[in-house]
Structure 1
Amino acid sequence: MLYNYLKLAYRNLLRQKFYTAINVVGLTLGITCCLLIFLFVQNELSYDKFHAQGDRIYRVLRVGNMNGDKTKIPYVSGPYAPALLTDFPSDVKAAVRVMSTNALFSYQDKTFKEERVFITDPEFLTMFSFPLVQGDPRQALADPDNVVISQAIAQKYFGSENPMGKLLTLDKNQTCKVAGVVANVPDNSHLKFDFVFSIKDYESQEWFQRWNNNSMFTYVLLEEKTNPENLLAQFPAFMEKHRGSETKKEGQNMTLELQPLHAIHLDTNTQFDFAEQGNKSNVYIFSAIAVFILLIACINFMNLASARSAGRAKEVGVRKVLGAYKQHLISQFLSESTLLTFIAVALSLGLIILILPYFNTFAEKHLAIPFTNPWLYVFLVGVALGVGLLAGSYPAFFLSSFEPVKVLRGRLASSAGHPLLRKALVVSQFSLSIFLMIGTVVIFRQMDYVQNKNLGFSKEHVITIPLDNEEIYSRSRAFINRLQQLPDVQSVSVMSGEPGGFHDRYVFNVIDKPNETWSFRTAFSDENYLPTLGIKLIAGRNFSKSFATDSVAAILLNETAVKNLGWTPQEAIGKEFVDPSHWAEQQAPRRRKVTGVVQDFHFSSLKETIEPLVIAMRPDRRLVAIRLAAGNPKSSLAAIEKVFNQTAPKYPFQYTFLDESFGKLYKSEQKQAQILAVFSVLAISIACLGLLGLASYTTQQRRKEIGIRKVLGASVSNVVTLLSQDFLKLVLLANILAWPLAWWAMHKWLQDFTYRVELSALIFIVAGVMALLIAIVTVSFQALKVAVANPVNALRDE
């Protein structure tokens, strides 16, 4: 019986080649989009799921709450891990610290600057499931001079040689021995590394023993029977025991939280996190897009099948007279739709194999089709059956319900299915398409806004060079002096962080406001900070070498800090602050006076409000910012590189343009906008395919009517207007339905940005007009074919 159903389905599909092609192309595009998004979502949700003990591994977060400002920071200091093991022996099975750094590695004539270097506890290789292909994970990091490298690094440095026991030169002055080779870290890991060293050499250093630095991730492996909630309840007492006096002095209510390993990638509530993070909103957005596009493709099928129901009415009537039951007819029509979707799924799989490399390049992902995963085939069969049953359900039940007597008398011939349902389906299709179009336009407008908004500083013609190795760090003053002598260099400043980068948070006491503590973001720099970044001074004066005490007794505030303190810019001048008690270089609390107030500038992403900022002259040399003269940047960079090579000859010259660095803050949203634009075009294309098929069928059904109208004097434009207006009314209705939904969704999305564009009515009107124009072109193409045809041919059969 099933074989007969499939054979008849195959014949019927071949008989209607045009409509079959439209359905196959539409379903293939829809299922391809759905599968691509499935791979993306599956990849995002799979981060860190490969660790055997992953459900018991947590990252320790330090949570501060001061004046209602709650922050979650994933960094703690060295003493936390041993203290957690000591204080909670029955709950914490293991604790591992991870510091990320970079270093210069050499082997024979090969030298490379490596960025993915971890310094960690030896238990790192047993807590996490990063399998060693060579070496013993329990012994590989027992010796502080050992290093574990990835397979990619082994190939890069040693080629076909056995890397075990080989000596690598670290920073040109010390050697380390390869004691293990770890399999390349999967892409879906938030911890990505190529080198792993033991942390033992650092444990005796004074800075490592301080509780108040933010230097490393700390992970704990809980015992199997441990309830994390019970452990969380004990953390306030733990913090009171180890840091109570310090946090009270700083006016902070500080505790710890446990972040599940599986949640790290999609949790964007942590600050200053170097771990690669995704976006939970993107997962929801693209999942919804997949459903939308698949629905549009299904609607195409349902629309065409119901429209063509009159053409198959007599077939149903004859088969019923010959003894066919309703369930037989339903099975027949569902077989047709399911066969069609299986064909579309097969074509989609082939199409994905072809386009996936290009999609990965475009989306900057490393997605792969998991052919060895049985769930892939479950998903494919599920999509085929689900889409087949969904798309074929209405036509199957509608056609099988025809009464044979009425059908054979021709009473259903003119109905062509329920026109109201077909109109509702067309409206649904275009509503979804218009929704995607509006979303694309809004996201692109917001991205253009953040790229071109006045940030309060000048990011053009500024490059930054990290002071991330001992050679350049120790010679930074000589490096700056040489740079200042270059003709194309206008200004040079050494600082703790550039706008868009990392800015510490410290707590200050204000002399005029006793018994209060104030939290400020901080930037440490020199007298060239303002001119190098083009920041405007609105009151007082900048730091100056003419005032010898500025280096230890002066600060600048931004407008927001002054406003929060209840002062005007002029009133702030001369006000005194007390340095944070744990600034390392001071012997006793030191007072600093406000010498100037700067205009607010966006030192963080536009997703965040401008916070109170203190700018202080204090040694914290993390990078150098250089303002270049407008002109030829290549010659300027060549001159700067020459100075760098003279200063730090062991290390490669690396730099970043500040405007490019700031633009990376919105890289995820920009990529999201581009991908959304592609899927929007595909959604519109699929909707137009359905409209094309429906318009073709409708115009064919009205050929005789059009012939009579032309004989009676109707012009071609009259006929085209007649055939198009019904469809255009549906698209107008689709706009009315799509606009409120699109406004709500985009309003929610824009809430992630503190500074954002307005949802202008023009955006909705443009999207609506575009949809109308696309529909006009699609429908007019078919209408014009019928309108210019000879009416004699249409009336000949009468």
Structure 2
Amino acid sequence: MLSNYLKLAYRNLLRQKFYTAINIVGLTLGITCCLLIFLFVKNELSYDRFHAQGDRIYRVLRVASINGDKAKIPYVSGPYAPALRNDFPGDVKAAVRVMSTNALFSYQDKTFKEDRVFITDPNFLEVFTFPLVQGDPRQVLADPNNVVISEAMAQKYFGSENPVGKLLTLDKTQTCKVSGVMANVPENSHLKFDFIFSIKDYEGQDWFQRWNNNAMFTYVLLAEQTNLQNLMAQFPAFMEKHQGAEAKKEGQRMTLDLQPLLAIHLDTNTQFDFAEQGNKSNVYIFSAIAVFILLIACINFMNLASARSAGRAREVGVRKVLGAYKQHLIGQFLSESTLLTFIAVALSFGLIILILPYFNAFTEKHLVIPFTSPGLYAFLVGITLVVGLLAGSYPAFFLSSFQPVKVLKGRLASSAGHPVLRKALVVAQFSLSIFLMIGTAVIFRQMDYVQHKNLGFSKEHIIRIPLDNSEIHDHRQAFMNRVKQLPGVQAVSVMSGEPGGFHDKYVFAVTDKPNETWSFRTAFSDVNYLPTLGIKLVAGRNFSKSFATDSVAAILLNETAVKNLGWTPQEALGKELVDPSHWAEQQVPRRRKVIGVVQDYHFSSLKEAIEPLVITMRRDHRLVAIRLAPGNPKPALAAIETVYKQLAASYPFQYTFLDESFDQLYKSEQKQAQILTVFAVLAIFIACLGLFGLALYSTEQRRKEIGIRKVLGASVGGLVTLLSQDFLKLVLLANVLAWPLAWWAMHQWLQDFTYRVELSAFIFIVAGIVALLIAIATVSLQALKVAVANPVNALRDE
């Protein structure tokens, strides 16, 4: 029976080649989009799931509450791990600390700067599942001078030689021995590294033992019987015991939270997190888009099948008269839709193989087709059955319900295909397409806004050079002095963090408000900070070398800080703040006087409101910013590189342009907008395929009517309008339905941005007009063809 169904299905699909082609193209594109998104979503949801004990591993977060301002910070200091093990021995089976750094590695004539270097506890490889190709995970980090490297690094430095036992030179001064080789870290790991050192050498250092620094990640492996809520309920007492006095001194209330390892990648609620993170909303958005596009393709099939129902009504009538049961006819029509879907899935799979490398390059992902995964084939079979049944369900049940007497008497042709349902499906198609068009337009408008908004500083023509090695850090002043003299260099400044980068948060006391403490972002810099970045003063003065005490006793505030403190810019001048950032250095607070107020500028993403900021001249220098003269930057960059290599010959010269770094803050949204554009275009194209098929069928059914109208004097324009107007009304109705849904969805999306565009009616109107024009072009093309045809050809059989 099944083979007979498939044989008949194949013959019917060949008989209607044009309509079959329309359906296959639409379903192939829809399923291809669905498969791409399936691979993307599967990859996003697979992060860190390869760890054998992953369901019991948690990252320790500090939750700081300062004057009602709460923040989850994934960094803690060295003492937390041993304290958690000692205080909760029944629940915390192991604790692992992870510090990320970079270093210069040399072997014979090969020297490379490596950024993926971890310093961890020796039990790191026992808690996490990063398998070793060579070495014992319990012993490889026992010696602080040992290093474990990835297979990629083994090949890079040693080629075909056995790397175990070989010596690498670290930062041109220290020798370390390769004790193990691990398999390359999977791409779906939030921890990315190529080298592992033991943390033992750091444990005796003073800074490592302080509780109030943000030095490292800490992970705990919990016992199987641990009650998570009961454990977390004991954290406030744990923090009071170990850090209560210090937290009170700084006006902070602090506790701990545990973040599941499997949730880290998609959890964006932590601050200053270097771990590779995805976006949960993107997973939802792309999943919804996959469903939308697949629905549009299925609607095409249902529309064309129901529209052509009159043509197959006589076939159904004859088969029923000859004894066919309803369930046999249902099986026949469902087999047709399933066969067609199978062909589309096969074509989609081949298309995915071809375009996946380009998709990976565009999205900067490493998606692969898991040919050995049963889940992939289950998905393919599932989508074949679901789409086949969904697309074929209505035609199957509708056509099989025809009464043979009415069909054979020709009484069903006039109403065949339930035009009301067909119209509803066309409206649904274009509503989804218009929704995607509006979403794309709003995202692009927001991205254009954030890229061109006045940020309060000048980010053009500025390069940033990290002080990330001892040579350039120790010679930073000499480097700056020499660079200032170069042609094409306008200004040079050293700082702790540039706009768009990292800005520490400290709690300051205000002498005028003795019972209050205030949380501020901080920027540590020099006298050239404001002129280099083009930041304006609104009151007072900048730091100056003419005032010797500025480096230790002066402070600048931004307008938001002044406003929060209840002052005007002029009133703020001369006020004193107690700077806690010197506690770590001198254990003595330092009073600093406000000498100036700077205009608010966006030192972080436009997704965040401008926070209170203090700028001081404390020496916490992590990078040099250099403003270049407008024009060709290549000569100046070459000269700067020459100076750099003279002072830090062992290290490669690395720089980035500040405007490019700032734009990276919105890279995810930019990619999202571009991908959404592609999907919106595909959705419109698939919808137009269906509309074209319906228009073709409709004009064929009305050929004699059109011939009679032409004989009676109807114009070509009038006939085109007559044939097009019903479809255009449906597109207008689709706009009415899509606009409210699109407004709500994009309003929700824009809430991620503190500074955002307004949802303009212009975008909705333009999207509606574009959809209308596309529909007019699609329908009118076929209508015009019929309208200009010779009426004799349509009427000669009458």
1:282-337 Cα distance to aligned partner (Å, 9 max, x none): 00000000000000000000000000000000001101111111111111111111
- The structural deviation recorded for 1:579 is 1.4
Report the counterpart of residue 556 of structure 1 in structure 2: 556
- The structural deviation recorded for 1:584 is 2.4
Query: Mapping of 1:262-341 within 5 angstroms?
Result: 262-341=262-341
Report the counterpart of residue 684 of structure 2 in structure 1: 684
Amino acid at match of 2:686: I
- The structural deviation recorded for 1:794 is 0.6
Report the counterpart of residue 250 of structure 2 in structure 1: 250
1:73 has 2:77 as partner: no
- The structural deviation recorded for 1:127 is 0.5
Identify which range, 479-488 or 451-460, moves more after superposition.
479-488
- The structural deviation recorded for 1:748 is 0.1
- The structural deviation recorded for 1:253 is 1.0
- Measure the CA separation in 2 of the matches of 1:395 and 1:631: 66
Report the counterpart of residue 647 of structure 2 in structure 1: 647
1:623-648 Cα distance to aligned partner (Å, 9 max, x none): 00111111220001001001100111
Report the counterpart of residue 88 of structure 2 in structure 1: 88
TM-aligned CA distance change 1:310 to 1:587, over 3 Å: closer
Report the counterpart of residue 529 of structure 2 in structure 1: 529
Report the counterpart of residue 519 of structure 1 in structure 2: 519
Report the counterpart of residue 439 of structure 2 in structure 1: 439
Query: Mapping of 1:376-391 within 5 angstroms?
Result: 376-391=376-391
- The structural deviation recorded for 1:587 is 4.7
Report the counterpart of residue 259 of structure 1 in structure 2: 259
Report the counterpart of residue 181 of structure 2 in structure 1: 181
- The structural deviation recorded for 1:586 is 3.0
- Measure the CA separation in 2 of the matches of 1:579 and 1:437: 51
Query: Mapping of 1:603-622 within 5 angstroms?
Result: 603-622=603-622
Whether the aligned pair in 1 keeps the contact of 2:506 and 2:581 (CA below 8 Å) is no
- Measure the CA separation in 2 of the matches of 1:492 and 1:582: 25
Query: Mapping of 1:158-173 within 5 angstroms?
Result: 158-173=158-173
Report the counterpart of residue 789 of structure 1 in structure 2: 789
SS of 1:133's partner is strand
Give 5+ residue unaligned stretches, structure 1: none
1:33-82 Cα distance to aligned partner (Å, 9 max, x none): 00100000000000000000000000000000122111000000001001
Identify which range, 582-591 or 396-405, moves more after superposition.
582-591
RMSD of the TM alignment (CA)? 0.8
Report the counterpart of residue 457 of structure 1 in structure 2: 457
Query: Mapping of 1:708-787 within 5 angstroms?
Result: 708-787=708-787
Amino acid at match of 2:18: F
- The structural deviation recorded for 1:715 is 1.6
1:475-516 Cα distance to aligned partner (Å, 9 max, x none): 111111111111221111110000000000000110111110
Report the counterpart of residue 635 of structure 1 in structure 2: 635
- Measure the CA separation in 2 of the matches of 1:357 and 1:526: 47
Percentage identity across aligned positions? Answer: 86
- The structural deviation recorded for 1:582 is 5.5
Report the counterpart of residue 223 of structure 2 in structure 1: 223
Identify which range, 735-744 or 705-714, moves more after superposition.
705-714
- The structural deviation recorded for 1:728 is 0.5
Give 5+ residue unaligned stretches, structure 2: none
- The structural deviation recorded for 1:389 is 0.4
Report the counterpart of residue 156 of structure 1 in structure 2: 156
- The structural deviation recorded for 1:581 is 6.8
- Measure the CA separation in 2 of the matches of 1:591 and 1:375: 63
- The structural deviation recorded for 1:416 is 2.6
Identify which range, 456-465 or 484-493, moves more after superposition.
484-493
Amino acid at match of 2:591: R
- Measure the CA separation in 2 of the matches of 1:362 and 1:487: 38
- The structural deviation recorded for 1:415 is 1.8
Report the counterpart of residue 41 of structure 1 in structure 2: 41
1:557-584 Cα distance to aligned partner (Å, 9 max, x none): 0000000000000000000011117532
- Measure the CA separation in 1 of the matches of 2:42 and 2:52: 19
- The structural deviation recorded for 1:716 is 1.4
Report the counterpart of residue 485 of structure 1 in structure 2: 485
Identify which range, 344-353 or 587-596, moves more after superposition.
587-596
1:375-425 Cα distance to aligned partner (Å, 9 max, x none): 111110110000000110010110011110110000011223100000000
Amino acid at match of 1:247: A
- Measure the CA separation in 2 of the matches of 1:365 and 1:777: 37
- The structural deviation recorded for 1:588 is 2.4
Matched residue count: 798
- Measure the CA separation in 1 of the matches of 2:739 and 2:514: 54
- Measure the CA separation in 2 of the matches of 1:475 and 1:28: 61
- Measure the CA separation in 2 of the matches of 1:408 and 1:729: 34
Report the counterpart of residue 600 of structure 1 in structure 2: 600
- Measure the CA separation in 2 of the matches of 1:797 and 1:134: 85
Give TM-score scaled by structure 1 length: 0.99
Amino acid at match of 1:291: V
SS of 1:417's partner is coil
Report the counterpart of residue 704 of structure 1 in structure 2: 704
SS of 1:274's partner is coil
- The structural deviation recorded for 1:585 is 2.8
1:414-448 Cα distance to aligned partner (Å, 9 max, x none): 22310000000000000000000000000000001
1:596-630 Cα distance to aligned partner (Å, 9 max, x none): 00000000000000000000110101000111111
Amino acid at match of 2:771: A
Give TM-score scaled by structure 2 length: 0.99
- Measure the CA separation in 2 of the matches of 1:60 and 1:454: 38
1:440-460 Cα distance to aligned partner (Å, 9 max, x none): 000000001000000000000
Amino acid at match of 2:239: M
